[in-house]
Amino acid sequence: MKKNQMIAIAIAAIVILAAFSTWYLIANKDKPVSVILATTTSTQDSGLLDYILPDFNSKYDADVKVIAVGTGQALELGRNGDADVLFVHSPAKEIDFVDQGYGLYRWKVMYNQFVIVGPASDPAGINGTALAKDALGMIYNTGSKFCSRGDQSGTHTAEQKLWTSAGYNYTGITMQSNSSWYLSLGQGMGDTLLTASEKQAYTIVDEATWFNLESGLDLVILVKGDAVLFNQYGVIPVNGTMHPAINEEMGVNFANWVTSPETQAMIANYTLKGNQVFTPNTDRKP
Amino acid sequence: MNAIQAKGISKSYRERKVLKEIDLEVEEGDIFAIIGPSGAGKTTLLRILCSLQPPDSGTVAILGRQISFKATEDLQLRRRMSFISQKPIAFRNSVRENVAYSLKVRGVEDRKEMVDNALQHVGLLDLADNLGMTLSGGELQRMAFARATVYNPEVLILDEFTAHLDPYNIKMLEDALISYQKENGATILTVTHNMFQAKRIARTTAVMLDGQIVEQNDTATIFNNPTDERTGQFVKGEMIF
Amino acid sequence: MESDLLNVTLLSIFVSGTATLLASLLAIPLGCFFGMRKFRGKEVIRTITYTLYGFPPVVAGLVLYILLSNSGPLGSLQLLFTPTAMILAQTLLVVPIVIGLTMSAVSTTSKDYTETAIILGADSWRTARTVIHEARVGIISAVMIGFGRALAEVGAVMLVGGNIQWHTRVLTTAIVLETREGNFGYGLALGAILLTIGMIFFYLMKRYQDKGMLT
Ligand SMILES: Nc1ncnc2c1ncn2[C@@H]1O[C@H](COP(=O)(O)OP(=O)(O)OP(=O)(O)O)[C@@H](O)[C@H]1O
Ligand SMILES: [Mg+2]
């Protein structure tokens, strides 16, 4: 009786697993060529990829697998030969990547904007400041709370550059361990915004994420439009000579496609809650 | 021939000598009682005789064969003997399956009748389908008796086998033990604090004090004409510990 | 979206279920062996397994990523960003739990039951079977807790699975994504599905466990 029970359970487990495996195999057989696209969370979370990728998949009979991570991790995936094409926003690091031979070339694709957000009470009085570096100076001088992602993401890199351009030593800021105003969180954008909202602190955010999350936050946009706040995205096909598993051809196809006039137009047409988020600006020579 | 023959058994826990050079001979077919106060080392001695743990020194022969104290090598010998522990435990099974276990491990196929018989002897047939774990202390001891005797071992070793029982059940188990011995001609070695029990059932009695057997003789002699002073005090209940 | 949800849910069950099954096949015998035997280094093994209970899933994922990466030693297997990699990652996380809990379940029942079995004439093989049988309630708990850990884990499957839609997205990674996108409500709904799966599984195992106690 007990033996039968055990056998029954074992059989049930095996049947369930077999069923799942079959389902899994069927679900995945005859799949078109898969391409691994390593990109930043912002392109995925903004919904842009869902909007434009079906076109690529049908044009090239491909199946783009999106790995949405931080820019640093995306570049690392490329270096290790685990991605076929990169779509990220950290120009200096991208150029390094290509210079080191990991990427074939890097083309600009589009940009979006960073904005400085903060509490409506605006203790540092930065509302409407034209230059981002002035705004940061006011935050610094008033010792107002500031949340940094602190995760070496594209957004974090951009923030570091802003502090430097405003004349501050960024390492100096982060090393002020006794300071209670600069909070380095080591979190994604959403978590950083939530924290900033809770603490009524300033932070820097890309517009796409902002439009997605603003309704749940007790923060407002205070500074936007400064050219240094533009956030440039680039595409890099990974160099296929590095590793046989890299699908260089599809990587190149993707770069060609995302910079083509049709796709660029699609990017411009994409809106999030009624706002255009990305401005196409490829530098690819036709 | 001696069914149980132990020579020079010593055992220490840390620095303390619990058994001191014990020699023990139990004749085949005897009912042999070891009496002695708590902590004298009775359980330790029995466990060694059953090959549950090795002594520090000394040898044990059961039914004329030397015990190796290695679980695998003593298997055939162990199957001819049995032990009822002071604290018997039940497997997470019915009473019937607990008793059947002894037969199952020996590959006996027709178990039902033998199991029912054994349970009948100890008055547990009504509870046969209950869970072993739900038995009362006394019922558990009766089950342990049935489980230990169902395969007719030639040597039966018991440690306080009536400790939790009321007088009625003590009588039942003592009778079961005596009739078991008669029917099978088995050798019985039992340990008890209770000298009256020794008086009732044993032919030979040994008195164990502080890790030593101080006196061994016909039960009647031990109780009526003890030679050792300490034995006299113990059987008269004068010894204070 | 609905078929997406179904896909994600089934993949969660498939990945965590397979991982738990594999881990159990490996860990239950080991746990029983460690639990029943006395040997030098047993305490070391116990300490290691207990420490690994708290092994951060992300670290397990990272180690596995480095191994499975195209530039890693096992890159040629092409397992990165597949459900197989996710199963491996969760297996790594579940194995120590099942070993540790099986070990303690077996060693707490071990001594008395071992002696009783030996006394009643069991050979060493039968004795081991008896002890495992007596410890089954604890062993089933070990499997339940292991499955819970696998199902709730996100760091490792995120890293080696990549959270690829239709391919390697499971409930936990989908929750991370939805949260990032600001769909907190949907994220919570996915969380509810996760809990429901856990509950159904625990209920079934509990019933089996109770039967194990009674029969
Ligand atoms: N594993 C052990 N470790 C340390 N000391 C032990 C161990 N087993 C037994 N002892 C000690 O050895 C002594 C003899 O124990 P034993 O169980 O043999 O006594 P006993 O004569 O059976 O007593 P009782 O009549 O109370 O059952 C006791 O003092 C006990 O505390
Ligand atoms: Mg005792």
Averaged pLDDT for residues B15-42: 92
- Which of B22, B24, B42 gets mutated to test ligand 1 (max ligand atoms within 8 A of its CB)? B42
Question: Cα–Cα distance between C107 and C39 in angstroms, integer?
Answer: 13
Q: Which residues of A touch C11 (CB under 8 A)?
A: 24
Q: Assign A29 a pLDDT band (cuts: 50, 70, 90).
A: low
Residue A225 and residue A118 share a domain: yes
Candidate from A23-27, A43-47, B169-173 with smallest mean pLDDT: A23-27
Q: What is the 8-class DSSP label of residue C75?
A: G
**Residue C28 domain boundaries:** 2-214
pLDDT above 90 (res A171): no
Ligand nearest to the CA of B208: 1
Which CATH number is C18's domain given? 1.10.3720.10
In angstroms, the CA A246 to CA A62 distance is 15
pLDDT at residue B224, rounded to an integer: 85
Q: For atom 25 of ligand 1, which residue has the closest CA? A: B38
Task: ipTM value, please give it.
Answer: 0.89
Which two tokens mark B2? 């001696």
Number of domains in chain C: 1
A218 shares a domain with A124: yes
Which residues lie with the beta carbon below 6 Å from any ligand 1 atom?
B 13, 18, 38-44, 86, 193
Q: How many CB pairs under 8 A join B and C?
A: 53
By C-alpha distance, the chain A residue nearest C161 is A67
Question: Which band of pLDDT confidence, cut at 50, 70 and 90, is reported for residue A2?
Answer: low
Asked if residue A138 is part of any domain, the answer here is yes
**CA C78-A34-A109 angle, 5° bins:** 120
Q: How many domains is chain A partitioned into structurally?
A: 3
The answer on A182 and A171 residing in a single domain is: yes
Cβ–Cβ pairs < 8 A, chains A and C: 76
Cβ distance C119 to B89 less than 8 Å, yes or no, reads no
Does some domain include residue A286?
A: no
DSSP one-letter string for A14-42 = HHHHHHHHHHHHHHHTTPPEEEEEEEEHH
pLDDT digits (tens, 9 = 90+) for A73-123: 999 999 999 999 999 988 889 999 999 999 999 999 999 999 999 999 999
Backbone angles phi, psi at B19, to 5 degrees: -125, 130
Which numbered ligand comes closest to the C-alpha of B47? 1
> Which range has the top average pLDDT, B78-87, B190-199, C179-188?
B78-87
Dist. CA B82–CA B6, nearest whole Å? 17
Does A268 reside within a domain? yes
Do A141 and A65 reside in the same domain of the chain?
Answer: no
A285 is a domain residue: no
Tokens describing residue C62: 């990272």
Nearest CA-CA distance, residue C40 and chain B, Å? 19
Model confidence at A50: pLDDT above 90: yes
For residue B55, the CA-to-ligand 1 centroid distance in Å is 14
Rounded percentage of chain A residues whose pLDDT exceeds 90: 59
Q: A61 lies in which domain range?
A: 33-111+234-280
> What's the whole-number mean pLDDT along residues B112-127?
91
Cβ separation of A216 and C72 shorter than 8 Å? no
* pLDDT of B240 over the 50 cut: no
Probe residue for ligand 1, chosen from B11, B12, B18 as the CB with the greatest number of ligand atoms within 8 Å: B18
Quick check: A154 pLDDT over 90? Answer: no
The strand pair at A107-118 and A220-223 is best described as antiparallel
Is residue A90 located within the same domain as residue A136? no
Which chain B residues are Cβ-neighbours of C120 within 8 angstroms?
82, 101-102, 105, 147-148
Q: Indicate which CATH number applies to the domain containing A255.
A: 3.40.190.10
How remote is the C-alpha of C123 from its chain's centroid?
A: 32
pLDDT at B229 over 90: no
Reference A103, options A251, A232, A233; nearest CA is A251
* Rg of chain A on CA atoms, in Å: 23
Q: Is residue A176 domain-shared with residue A259, that is, in the same domain?
A: no
Q: Record the tokens describing residue B195, joined without a space.
A: 């000298």
Q: Which of C112, C113, C124 sits opposite B72 (nearest CB)?
A: C124
Tell me how far apart the alpha carbons of residues C168 and C51 are, in angstroms, rounded to a whole number.
29
Which of B9, B20, B44, B190 for a ligand 1 pocket mutation test, highest count of atoms within 8 Å of Cβ? B44
Are residue A160 and residue A220 in the same domain, yes or no? yes
Within 8 A by CB and 6+ apart from C77, the residues are C68
Provide the residues around ligand 2 (an ion) whose CB is within 5 A. B 43, 86
Q: Please judge whether A65 and C81 are an interchain contact, meaning their C-beta atoms are less than 8 angstroms apart.
A: yes
User: Do B105 and C115 lie within an 8 Å CB cutoff?
Assistant: no
- Domain borders along chain B are 1-80+154-241, 87-152
Same domain, A250 and A274: yes
What's the pLDDT tens digit per position in B145-166?
999 999 999 999 999 998 878 8
More confident: B214 or B234: B214
Lowest mean pLDDT among A23-37, A191-205, C5-19, C46-60: A23-37
In this structure, the answer to whether residues A200 and A160 fall within a common structural domain is: yes
- A155, A225: one domain: yes
Compute CA distances A256 → A85, A107, A112, B38, C75, whole Å.
11, 9, 20, 92, 28
A252 sits in which H/E element = helix A248-258
Please state which of the ranges A20-29, B135-144, C63-72 shows the lowest mean pLDDT: A20-29
Give the torsion sign (CA, A256, A258, A259, A261): positive
Location of structure tokens 């100096």 = A172
Residue closest via CA to ligand 1's atom 18 equals B41
pLDDT of B241 higher than 50:
no
For chain B, percent of residues with pLDDT exceeding 70? 97
Find out if CATH 3.40.50.970 is the number for domain B1-80+154-241. no
- Which segment of B83-87, B226-230, C115-119, C126-130 scores lowest on mean pLDDT? B226-230
pLDDT at position B238 is 57
B86 — pLDDT class (breaks 50, 70, 90): confident
Residue segments in chain C with a per-residue pLDDT below the cut of 70: 1-3, 211-215
**A128 and A197 share a domain?**
yes
Which residues in chain C touch residue A45, judged by CB atoms under 8 angstroms apart? 177, 180-181
Residues sharing a CB contact under 8 Å with residue A15, sequence separation 6 or more, in sequence order: none
The alpha carbon of A16 and the centre of ligand 1 are apart by a number of angstroms equal to 53
Is residue A286's pLDDT more than 80? no
Give A244→chain C minimum CA distance, Å.
Answer: 9
